[in-house]
Amino acid sequence: MTRWWTTDETHDPARTSWVESAQGHGDFPIQNLPYGVFSPNGAEARIGVAIGDMILDLAACAGEGLIGEGGDTLLDPTLNALMALPGETRRSLRRAISALLSDPAMQATVEPHLHSARDCTLHLPAQIGDYSDFYVGIHHANNIGRQFRPDNPLLPNYKYVPIGYHGRASSIRPSGEALVRPCGQRKAPDADAPVYGPTARLDYELELGVWVGPGNDLGSPIAIGKAADHIAGFCLLNDWSARDFQAWEYQPLGPFLAKNFHSTISPWVVTAEAMAPYRIAQLARPDGDPAPLPYLADPDDQAHGALGLTLAVYLTSATMRAEGMAPMRLSHGPASNMYWTVQQIVTHHASNGCNLKPGDLLGTGTISAPLREGFGSLMELSAGGKEPLTLPTGETRAFLADGDEVMLRAVARADGFMSIGFGECRAQVLAARGQEVA
Protein backbone atom coordinates (compact mmCIF):
# COMPACT_ATOMS: atom_id res chain seq x y z
CA MET A 1 0.00 0.00 0.00
CA THR A 2 1.24 3.48 -0.89
CA ARG A 3 1.79 5.55 2.23
CA TRP A 4 1.10 9.28 2.35
CA TRP A 5 4.80 10.16 2.52
CA THR A 6 5.79 7.92 -0.44
CA THR A 7 7.30 9.68 -3.47
CA ASP A 8 7.08 8.64 -7.13
CA GLU A 9 8.22 9.81 -10.57
CA THR A 10 6.18 13.04 -10.26
CA HIS A 11 8.57 14.23 -7.53
CA ASP A 12 11.77 13.45 -9.51
CA PRO A 13 13.92 16.61 -9.42
CA ALA A 14 15.21 15.74 -12.89
CA ARG A 15 11.72 15.83 -14.41
CA THR A 16 11.18 18.86 -16.63
CA SER A 17 8.22 20.36 -18.46
CA TRP A 18 7.87 21.59 -22.01
CA VAL A 19 6.29 24.69 -20.41
CA GLU A 20 9.37 26.90 -20.46
CA SER A 21 8.48 29.07 -17.44
CA ALA A 22 8.17 25.97 -15.22
CA GLN A 23 11.90 25.32 -15.25
CA GLY A 24 13.25 26.42 -11.88
CA HIS A 25 10.04 28.26 -11.03
CA GLY A 26 10.06 29.33 -7.40
CA ASP A 27 6.50 28.22 -6.72
CA PHE A 28 5.15 26.06 -9.52
CA PRO A 29 7.68 23.72 -11.15
CA ILE A 30 6.29 20.49 -12.56
CA GLN A 31 6.97 18.81 -9.19
CA ASN A 32 4.18 20.87 -7.60
CA LEU A 33 1.03 20.88 -9.80
CA PRO A 34 -1.40 22.61 -7.40
CA TYR A 35 -5.09 22.76 -8.29
CA GLY A 36 -7.19 25.88 -8.43
CA VAL A 37 -10.33 27.39 -9.92
CA PHE A 38 -9.79 30.16 -12.47
CA SER A 39 -11.50 32.20 -15.16
CA PRO A 40 -9.46 32.82 -18.30
CA ASN A 41 -10.12 36.22 -19.88
CA GLY A 42 -13.49 36.61 -18.18
CA ALA A 43 -14.81 33.18 -19.16
CA GLU A 44 -16.64 30.85 -16.79
CA ALA A 45 -14.78 29.43 -13.81
CA ARG A 46 -13.16 26.03 -14.29
CA ILE A 47 -10.52 23.82 -12.67
CA GLY A 48 -6.89 24.33 -13.61
CA VAL A 49 -3.39 23.50 -12.49
CA ALA A 50 -0.53 25.97 -12.04
CA ILE A 51 2.58 25.25 -14.09
CA GLY A 52 5.24 27.97 -14.08
CA ASP A 53 3.66 31.28 -15.07
CA MET A 54 0.81 29.48 -16.82
CA ILE A 55 -2.45 27.73 -15.91
CA LEU A 56 -3.49 24.55 -17.68
CA ASP A 57 -7.25 24.25 -18.25
CA LEU A 58 -7.88 20.79 -16.82
CA ALA A 59 -11.58 20.91 -17.60
CA ALA A 60 -10.75 21.28 -21.30
CA CYS A 61 -8.19 18.46 -21.11
CA ALA A 62 -10.67 16.18 -19.38
CA GLY A 63 -13.34 17.10 -21.91
CA GLU A 64 -11.06 15.92 -24.72
CA GLY A 65 -10.40 12.63 -22.96
CA LEU A 66 -6.76 13.45 -22.21
CA ILE A 67 -7.08 12.43 -18.55
CA GLY A 68 -8.24 9.03 -17.39
CA GLU A 69 -9.13 7.97 -13.84
CA GLY A 70 -10.60 10.84 -11.81
CA GLY A 71 -10.82 13.11 -14.87
CA ASP A 72 -14.60 13.44 -14.60
CA THR A 73 -14.18 15.48 -11.38
CA LEU A 74 -12.27 18.10 -13.37
CA LEU A 75 -15.43 19.04 -15.25
CA ASP A 76 -16.93 20.59 -12.09
CA PRO A 77 -16.55 24.32 -11.32
CA THR A 78 -15.10 23.57 -7.85
CA LEU A 79 -12.60 21.12 -6.40
CA ASN A 80 -15.01 19.46 -3.96
CA ALA A 81 -15.52 16.29 -6.02
CA LEU A 82 -11.79 15.98 -6.68
CA MET A 83 -11.06 16.41 -2.97
CA ALA A 84 -13.50 13.60 -2.21
CA LEU A 85 -11.49 11.11 -4.30
CA PRO A 86 -9.50 8.38 -2.51
CA GLY A 87 -5.79 9.02 -2.21
CA GLU A 88 -4.85 6.39 -4.79
CA THR A 89 -7.13 7.97 -7.37
CA ARG A 90 -5.72 11.43 -6.66
CA ARG A 91 -2.20 10.03 -7.12
CA SER A 92 -3.21 8.49 -10.46
CA LEU A 93 -4.68 11.82 -11.54
CA ARG A 94 -1.49 13.63 -10.55
CA ARG A 95 0.64 11.19 -12.58
CA ALA A 96 -1.56 11.70 -15.64
CA ILE A 97 -1.32 15.52 -15.43
CA SER A 98 2.43 15.34 -14.86
CA ALA A 99 2.79 13.17 -17.97
CA LEU A 100 0.79 15.64 -20.08
CA LEU A 101 3.10 18.47 -19.05
CA SER A 102 6.41 16.58 -19.24
CA ASP A 103 6.03 14.53 -22.43
CA PRO A 104 7.16 16.58 -25.47
CA ALA A 105 4.91 14.44 -27.66
CA MET A 106 1.87 15.92 -25.86
CA GLN A 107 2.85 19.57 -26.30
CA ALA A 108 0.97 20.22 -29.55
CA THR A 109 -2.21 18.71 -28.10
CA VAL A 110 -2.08 20.30 -24.65
CA GLU A 111 -0.53 23.72 -25.31
CA PRO A 112 -3.75 25.28 -26.69
CA HIS A 113 -5.27 24.79 -23.23
CA LEU A 114 -2.60 26.90 -21.48
CA HIS A 115 -3.39 30.40 -20.25
CA SER A 116 -1.09 33.07 -18.90
CA ALA A 117 -1.76 33.33 -15.17
CA ARG A 118 -1.61 37.12 -15.25
CA ASP A 119 -4.60 37.18 -17.61
CA CYS A 120 -6.74 34.95 -15.36
CA THR A 121 -8.92 35.54 -12.32
CA LEU A 122 -8.48 33.10 -9.44
CA HIS A 123 -11.41 32.08 -7.25
CA LEU A 124 -11.95 30.15 -4.05
CA PRO A 125 -10.93 26.60 -4.98
CA ALA A 126 -13.82 24.84 -3.26
CA GLN A 127 -17.28 25.48 -1.89
CA ILE A 128 -16.35 25.69 1.78
CA GLY A 129 -19.09 24.15 3.87
CA ASP A 130 -17.41 24.65 7.23
CA TYR A 131 -14.29 26.29 8.62
CA SER A 132 -12.61 25.58 11.96
CA ASP A 133 -9.53 27.33 13.28
CA PHE A 134 -7.06 25.77 15.70
CA TYR A 135 -4.33 27.07 18.02
CA VAL A 136 -1.46 24.62 17.51
CA GLY A 137 1.42 27.12 17.27
CA ILE A 138 2.78 26.74 20.78
CA HIS A 139 5.17 29.69 20.58
CA HIS A 140 2.32 31.96 19.50
CA ALA A 141 0.18 30.60 22.34
CA ASN A 142 2.99 31.30 24.81
CA ASN A 143 3.68 34.78 23.44
CA ILE A 144 0.03 35.84 23.53
CA GLY A 145 -0.58 34.14 26.87
CA ARG A 146 2.31 36.02 28.52
CA GLN A 147 0.67 39.33 27.63
CA PHE A 148 -2.40 38.38 29.65
CA ARG A 149 -1.07 35.77 32.11
CA PRO A 150 2.69 36.36 32.62
CA ASP A 151 3.03 33.61 35.22
CA ASN A 152 0.88 31.02 33.44
CA PRO A 153 0.71 31.70 29.68
CA LEU A 154 -0.63 28.29 28.63
CA LEU A 155 -3.96 27.09 29.94
CA PRO A 156 -3.90 23.59 31.50
CA ASN A 157 -5.62 21.86 28.57
CA TYR A 158 -3.25 23.12 25.84
CA LYS A 159 -0.86 20.15 25.93
CA TYR A 160 -3.69 17.62 25.99
CA VAL A 161 -6.19 19.03 23.46
CA PRO A 162 -5.71 20.50 19.97
CA ILE A 163 -7.67 23.64 20.86
CA GLY A 164 -9.92 25.08 18.17
CA TYR A 165 -13.13 26.98 17.48
CA HIS A 166 -15.73 27.01 14.73
CA GLY A 167 -15.13 29.89 12.33
CA ARG A 168 -17.17 31.53 9.60
CA ALA A 169 -16.88 30.01 6.10
CA SER A 170 -18.91 32.76 4.42
CA SER A 171 -16.22 35.42 4.91
CA ILE A 172 -13.26 33.45 3.50
CA ARG A 173 -11.89 35.16 0.38
CA PRO A 174 -9.11 34.42 -2.13
CA SER A 175 -5.80 36.23 -2.25
CA GLY A 176 -6.04 39.73 -3.71
CA GLU A 177 -9.49 40.64 -2.41
CA ALA A 178 -9.25 43.60 -0.05
CA LEU A 179 -10.67 43.52 3.45
CA VAL A 180 -12.68 46.30 5.03
CA ARG A 181 -11.61 47.37 8.50
CA PRO A 182 -14.30 45.96 10.80
CA CYS A 183 -16.37 47.81 13.36
CA GLY A 184 -17.29 46.37 16.72
CA GLN A 185 -17.20 46.76 20.48
CA ARG A 186 -13.98 47.42 22.36
CA LYS A 187 -13.31 48.43 25.93
CA ALA A 188 -10.16 50.09 27.23
CA PRO A 189 -8.89 48.64 30.55
CA ASP A 190 -9.56 51.91 32.36
CA ALA A 191 -12.94 52.61 30.75
CA ASP A 192 -16.27 52.13 32.51
CA ALA A 193 -18.07 50.88 29.40
CA PRO A 194 -17.29 49.70 25.87
CA VAL A 195 -17.60 51.80 22.72
CA TYR A 196 -18.51 50.83 19.17
CA GLY A 197 -16.39 51.75 16.16
CA PRO A 198 -13.59 50.64 13.82
CA THR A 199 -10.92 48.42 15.30
CA ALA A 200 -7.76 50.23 16.34
CA ARG A 201 -5.75 47.00 16.66
CA LEU A 202 -6.12 45.18 13.34
CA ASP A 203 -3.70 42.26 13.02
CA TYR A 204 -2.77 39.46 10.65
CA GLU A 205 -2.14 35.82 11.56
CA LEU A 206 0.30 33.56 9.70
CA GLU A 207 -1.41 30.18 9.34
CA LEU A 208 -1.69 27.13 7.14
CA GLY A 209 -5.02 25.98 5.79
CA VAL A 210 -5.79 22.26 5.60
CA TRP A 211 -8.32 21.13 2.98
CA VAL A 212 -10.45 18.16 4.01
CA GLY A 213 -10.59 15.25 1.55
CA PRO A 214 -13.07 12.34 1.67
CA GLY A 215 -14.42 13.18 5.14
CA ASN A 216 -16.43 10.93 7.49
CA ASP A 217 -20.00 10.06 8.35
CA LEU A 218 -21.73 11.70 11.30
CA GLY A 219 -21.00 9.66 14.42
CA SER A 220 -17.93 7.93 12.92
CA PRO A 221 -14.58 9.23 14.26
CA ILE A 222 -11.41 9.29 12.14
CA ALA A 223 -8.57 7.16 13.55
CA ILE A 224 -5.20 8.90 13.78
CA GLY A 225 -3.67 6.20 11.57
CA LYS A 226 -6.19 7.07 8.84
CA ALA A 227 -6.26 10.84 9.26
CA ALA A 228 -3.84 11.54 6.40
CA ASP A 229 -6.27 9.82 4.02
CA HIS A 230 -8.76 12.60 4.79
CA ILE A 231 -6.43 15.50 3.88
CA ALA A 232 -6.65 16.72 0.28
CA GLY A 233 -4.14 19.56 0.42
CA PHE A 234 -2.85 22.77 1.93
CA CYS A 235 -2.91 26.53 1.43
CA LEU A 236 -1.81 29.67 3.23
CA LEU A 237 -4.32 31.31 5.54
CA ASN A 238 -4.39 34.81 7.02
CA ASP A 239 -7.02 34.89 9.75
CA TRP A 240 -7.28 38.64 10.21
CA SER A 241 -7.98 39.61 13.81
CA ALA A 242 -9.30 42.67 15.64
CA ARG A 243 -7.32 42.37 18.85
CA ASP A 244 -9.29 45.02 20.75
CA PHE A 245 -12.59 43.28 19.97
CA GLN A 246 -10.98 39.96 20.89
CA ALA A 247 -9.83 41.14 24.33
CA TRP A 248 -13.34 42.32 25.18
CA GLU A 249 -15.42 39.45 23.79
CA TYR A 250 -13.35 36.25 24.10
CA GLN A 251 -14.57 35.28 27.58
CA PRO A 252 -16.48 33.08 28.17
CA LEU A 253 -17.11 31.62 24.70
CA GLY A 254 -14.01 32.51 22.72
CA PRO A 255 -13.51 34.23 19.32
CA PHE A 256 -16.48 35.71 17.53
CA LEU A 257 -16.64 39.11 15.77
CA ALA A 258 -12.90 39.62 16.28
CA LYS A 259 -12.25 36.84 13.78
CA ASN A 260 -15.20 36.30 11.46
CA PHE A 261 -15.11 39.45 9.33
CA HIS A 262 -12.54 38.24 6.76
CA SER A 263 -10.03 35.43 6.26
CA THR A 264 -7.72 35.35 3.23
CA ILE A 265 -6.41 32.15 1.64
CA SER A 266 -3.96 31.47 -1.16
CA PRO A 267 -6.00 30.22 -4.14
CA TRP A 268 -3.85 27.21 -5.07
CA VAL A 269 -4.33 23.87 -3.32
CA VAL A 270 -0.92 22.28 -2.85
CA THR A 271 -1.95 18.66 -2.74
CA ALA A 272 -1.14 16.17 -0.02
CA GLU A 273 0.50 14.09 -2.76
CA ALA A 274 2.80 16.97 -3.78
CA MET A 275 3.85 17.40 -0.14
CA ALA A 276 5.08 13.80 0.24
CA PRO A 277 8.83 14.65 0.00
CA TYR A 278 8.49 17.42 2.56
CA ARG A 279 7.08 15.32 5.39
CA ILE A 280 9.36 15.41 8.41
CA ALA A 281 9.34 14.11 11.97
CA GLN A 282 7.23 15.92 14.51
CA LEU A 283 9.36 17.84 17.01
CA ALA A 284 9.88 15.92 20.22
CA ARG A 285 7.87 17.23 23.13
CA PRO A 286 9.90 18.85 25.91
CA ASP A 287 10.73 16.73 28.91
CA GLY A 288 7.85 16.74 31.35
CA ASP A 289 5.14 17.36 28.74
CA PRO A 290 2.36 14.76 28.70
CA ALA A 291 2.28 12.25 25.88
CA PRO A 292 -0.71 12.55 23.51
CA LEU A 293 -3.69 10.50 24.61
CA PRO A 294 -3.89 7.17 22.74
CA TYR A 295 -6.45 8.36 20.18
CA LEU A 296 -3.96 11.05 19.07
CA ALA A 297 -0.82 8.88 19.17
CA ASP A 298 0.58 7.15 16.09
CA PRO A 299 4.24 6.27 15.30
CA ASP A 300 3.88 7.07 11.59
CA ASP A 301 2.38 10.44 12.40
CA GLN A 302 5.24 11.27 14.74
CA ALA A 303 7.79 10.17 12.13
CA HIS A 304 6.22 11.88 9.09
CA GLY A 305 3.44 14.15 10.31
CA ALA A 306 5.16 17.55 10.34
CA LEU A 307 5.74 19.75 7.26
CA GLY A 308 9.11 20.95 5.97
CA LEU A 309 7.88 24.45 5.11
CA THR A 310 9.43 27.87 5.63
CA LEU A 311 6.80 30.56 6.16
CA ALA A 312 7.22 34.32 5.74
CA VAL A 313 5.19 37.53 6.14
CA TYR A 314 5.73 40.75 4.15
CA LEU A 315 4.20 44.22 4.50
CA THR A 316 3.93 47.27 2.28
CA SER A 317 2.33 50.54 3.30
CA ALA A 318 0.61 52.84 0.81
CA THR A 319 3.63 55.16 1.03
CA MET A 320 6.06 52.30 0.36
CA ARG A 321 4.16 51.31 -2.77
CA ALA A 322 3.93 54.92 -3.98
CA GLU A 323 7.71 55.21 -3.64
CA GLY A 324 8.34 51.90 -5.38
CA MET A 325 9.82 50.19 -2.33
CA ALA A 326 10.04 46.44 -2.03
CA PRO A 327 7.89 44.74 0.62
CA MET A 328 9.39 44.59 4.10
CA ARG A 329 9.76 41.09 5.51
CA LEU A 330 8.31 41.08 8.99
CA SER A 331 9.09 37.50 9.98
CA HIS A 332 10.02 34.04 8.75
CA GLY A 333 10.28 30.61 10.32
CA PRO A 334 9.53 26.91 9.94
CA ALA A 335 6.05 25.38 9.99
CA SER A 336 7.44 22.66 12.26
CA ASN A 337 6.73 24.99 15.19
CA MET A 338 3.37 23.27 15.63
CA TYR A 339 2.64 21.39 18.85
CA TRP A 340 0.10 19.18 17.08
CA THR A 341 0.27 17.71 13.56
CA VAL A 342 -2.39 18.36 10.95
CA GLN A 343 -3.38 14.69 11.25
CA GLN A 344 -3.97 15.15 14.98
CA ILE A 345 -6.10 18.20 14.18
CA VAL A 346 -8.28 16.15 11.83
CA THR A 347 -8.59 13.24 14.26
CA HIS A 348 -9.49 15.45 17.22
CA HIS A 349 -12.05 17.42 15.19
CA ALA A 350 -13.86 14.19 14.30
CA SER A 351 -13.26 12.42 17.63
CA ASN A 352 -16.74 13.23 18.93
CA GLY A 353 -18.34 12.04 15.70
CA CYS A 354 -18.39 15.44 13.99
CA ASN A 355 -18.66 14.86 10.25
CA LEU A 356 -16.08 16.55 8.05
CA LYS A 357 -16.90 17.03 4.37
CA PRO A 358 -14.81 17.40 1.19
CA GLY A 359 -13.84 21.04 0.83
CA ASP A 360 -14.09 21.90 4.52
CA LEU A 361 -11.20 24.08 5.64
CA LEU A 362 -9.21 23.80 8.86
CA GLY A 363 -6.77 26.47 10.04
CA THR A 364 -3.71 25.61 12.09
CA GLY A 365 -3.74 28.80 14.10
CA THR A 366 -0.85 31.25 14.08
CA ILE A 367 2.54 29.60 13.60
CA SER A 368 5.34 31.43 15.37
CA ALA A 369 8.98 30.56 15.99
CA PRO A 370 10.67 30.81 19.42
CA LEU A 371 12.54 34.02 18.50
CA ARG A 372 11.15 37.40 17.43
CA GLU A 373 12.27 36.98 13.81
CA GLY A 374 9.71 34.19 13.48
CA PHE A 375 6.70 35.73 15.25
CA GLY A 376 3.52 35.24 13.21
CA SER A 377 1.47 38.30 14.21
CA LEU A 378 1.88 42.00 14.99
CA MET A 379 0.45 41.37 18.44
CA GLU A 380 3.66 39.47 19.15
CA LEU A 381 6.08 41.59 17.11
CA SER A 382 4.94 44.84 18.74
CA ALA A 383 4.53 43.31 22.22
CA GLY A 384 0.85 44.17 22.24
CA GLY A 385 1.47 47.60 20.75
CA LYS A 386 4.19 48.64 23.20
CA GLU A 387 7.10 48.25 20.74
CA PRO A 388 6.04 49.52 17.28
CA LEU A 389 7.94 48.44 14.19
CA THR A 390 9.66 51.01 11.97
CA LEU A 391 9.10 50.70 8.22
CA PRO A 392 11.70 51.75 5.59
CA THR A 393 9.79 55.03 5.10
CA GLY A 394 10.13 55.89 8.79
CA GLU A 395 6.47 55.08 9.42
CA THR A 396 5.73 52.99 12.51
CA ARG A 397 3.27 50.17 13.03
CA ALA A 398 1.97 48.66 16.23
CA PHE A 399 -1.02 47.32 14.29
CA LEU A 400 -2.15 47.60 10.67
CA ALA A 401 -3.11 50.93 9.11
CA ASP A 402 -5.53 51.54 6.24
CA GLY A 403 -3.71 51.03 2.95
CA ASP A 404 -1.32 48.42 4.34
CA GLU A 405 -0.98 45.23 2.34
CA VAL A 406 0.10 41.97 3.96
CA MET A 407 1.48 39.04 1.98
CA LEU A 408 2.16 35.49 3.22
CA ARG A 409 4.45 33.06 1.39
CA ALA A 410 5.65 29.49 1.95
CA VAL A 411 8.33 27.28 0.41
CA ALA A 412 8.70 23.52 0.90
CA ARG A 413 12.24 22.16 0.81
CA ALA A 414 13.83 18.73 1.20
CA ASP A 415 17.28 17.39 0.35
CA GLY A 416 17.29 15.69 -3.03
CA PHE A 417 14.02 17.25 -4.20
CA MET A 418 12.91 20.37 -6.04
CA SER A 419 11.58 23.19 -3.85
CA ILE A 420 7.94 24.12 -4.36
CA GLY A 421 5.90 27.11 -3.21
CA PHE A 422 2.33 28.03 -2.35
CA GLY A 423 2.00 31.26 -4.31
CA GLU A 424 0.85 34.46 -2.65
CA CYS A 425 -1.72 35.07 0.03
CA ARG A 426 -2.21 38.82 0.05
CA ALA A 427 -4.78 41.45 0.82
CA GLN A 428 -4.91 45.19 1.38
CA VAL A 429 -6.68 46.94 4.25
CA LEU A 430 -9.47 49.36 3.31
CA ALA A 431 -10.95 51.98 5.60
CA ALA A 432 -14.02 51.08 7.66
CA ARG A 433 -17.36 51.69 6.04
CA GLY A 434 -20.22 53.63 7.57
CA GLN A 435 -21.67 52.22 10.75
CA GLU A 436 -25.28 52.37 9.58
CA VAL A 437 -27.21 49.10 9.45
CA ALA A 438 -27.64 47.74 5.90
Nearest partner of 47 among 73, 77, 70, 72, judged by Cα: 77
Tell me if 135 is assigned to a ligand binding site: yes
Q: Which segments of 149-298 does DSSP mark as H helices, in order?
A: 243-249
Extended strands (E) in 63-191: 114-116, 120-123, 131-134, 164-166, 172-174, 179-180, 183-186
**Catalytic one of 11, 139, 140, 262:** 140
Nearest partner of 191 among 251, 257, 149, 248, judged by Cα: 248
In angstroms, the CA 419 to CA 425 distance is 18
Instruction: Give the phi and the psi of residue 169 in degrees, each rounded to 5.
Output: -70, -30
> Angle at Cα 303 formed by Cα 341 and Cα 345, nearest 5°?
15
Tell me if 170 is assigned to a ligand binding site: no
In angstroms, the CA 382 to CA 414 distance is 33
**Residue 321: how many CB atoms within 10 A of its CB?**
14
Tell me if 239 is assigned to a ligand binding site: yes
**Residue 352: how many CB atoms within 10 A of its CB?**
8
Tell me if 405 is assigned to a ligand binding site: no
In angstroms, the CA 409 to CA 333 distance is 11
Tell me if 160 is assigned to a ligand binding site: no
Tell me if 310 is assigned to a ligand binding site: no
Say which residues have a Cβ less than 8 Å from residue 92's Cβ, sequence separation at least 6: 68, 69, 70
Tell me if 259 is assigned to a ligand binding site: yes
Nearest partner of 75 among 64, 55, 59, judged by Cα: 59
Cβ atoms of 124 and 37 closer than 8 Å: yes
Tell me if 192 is assigned to a ligand binding site: no
Clarify whether 140 is annotated catalytic: yes
Helix (H) or strand (E) holding 238: strand 231-238
Tell me if 7 is assigned to a ligand binding site: no
Task: Enter the DSSP assignment of 357.
Answer: -
Tell me if 386 is assigned to a ligand binding site: no
Nearest partner of 308 among 278, 272, 340, 273, judged by Cα: 278
Helix (H) or strand (E) holding 161: none
Nearest partner of 346 among 232, 267, 264, judged by Cα: 232
3 state DSSP class of 344: helix
Tell me if 168 is assigned to a ligand binding site: no
Nearest partner of 384 among 256, 280, 241, judged by Cα: 241
Per the annotation, binding residues for Ca(2+) are 133, 205, 207, 239
Residues serving a catalytic function are: 140
Per the annotation, binding residues are 133, 135, 149, 205, 207, 239, 246, 250, 259, 263, 366
Per the annotation, binding residues for substrate are 135, 149, 246, 250, 366
Per the annotation, binding residues for Mg(2+) are 239, 259, 263
